[in-house]
Amino acid sequence: MNGQELNQIQKRALDNYSSSEPWPDDDNWHFHTNKILNQKVNELLIEYCTDEKIILNAGCGKTTYNTSAKIIYMDIVKEYIENFSNYIVGSVENIPLEDSSIDAIICVGSVLNYVDIQKTLSEFSRVLKDNGLLILEFERSNSAEFLFTAKYKKTIFQQEYCYNNQKHFLWMYDENFVEKLCDYYNLNCLYKYRFHVFSSLLYRLGIKEKRAAKYCLFDNILQPISYPFSHNTIMILKKLFLHKLEY
């Protein structure tokens, strides 16, 4: 991915999100996406996060979670976050926080699909404490939406979508590529949940997005066969504690 393409994607994301809500209110597919993400993230926060923990909500939009832990909200759009008490306006590719200062990072809602994945994962790994958690969700090139096309399972490519009645450009990633890159940055995948499994396949077969989206009801039972079809993955990763060599 070259610098020019990246700037275009970022500039477009900033323009689009500055003039709209983070989530559309008339789009069934993204309504389900948002619902699944909120449910999964809230479950995880209850399990892992206590009062004294510090969480970074990276690319948070206007979303907040039910937790007693301290949340730092970060987004490129100031208007989304300026009413929170702890906020940072900026790109997740360059996080103005100290090394090993954060207990958990939440990066969901396709934020990863708008950014330089390498810079972003490197920053997440840097600011996370050892054994810190990363909740990461993204859209996959392994989606049934691309079955029987050259894009299917491609490591990375740029895709145009109509979202919120705007033209968005997203980087689509192969799931194994993301996992390997995470591994490179000492982020070890503990758990994965794939969603929009049957819905993506139906969409590929020509069913309208609105109708197809309803079939995410079957995502739980379709987990064992989700790899070749699902559009989204949410991964829970842990930053490995590595012994530093002393000389």
Ligand X SMILES: C[S@@+](CC[C@H](N)C(=O)[O-])C[C@H]1O[C@@H](n2cnc3c(N)ncnc32)[C@H](O)[C@@H]1O
The contact set with ligand X (CB under 6 A) reads: 10, 13, 17, 22-23, 37, 59-61, 63, 75-77, 80, 91-93, 108-111, 114-115
Find the shortest distance in angstroms from Cβ 150 to ligand X.
27
Q: Within the chain, how many helices (H) and strands (E) appear?
A: 7, 9
Measured on CA atoms in the order 184, 156, 13, 235, is the torsion positive or negative? negative
Tokens found for residue 149: 């096309």
Please give the DSSP secondary-structure letter assigned to residue 24.
-
Find the shortest distance in angstroms from Cβ 246 to ligand X.
36
111/189 with CB nearer ligand X: 111
Find the shortest distance in angstroms from Cβ 132 to ligand X.
18
22/132 with CB nearer ligand X: 22
Find the shortest distance in angstroms from Cβ 242 to ligand X.
27
91/199 with CB nearer ligand X: 91
Residue 15: burial class (beta carbons within 10 Å; 0-12, 13-18, 19+) = exposed
Q: Which are the contacts of 131, defined by CB distance < 8 A and separation ≥ 6? A: 238, 239, 241
123/201 with CB nearer ligand X: 123
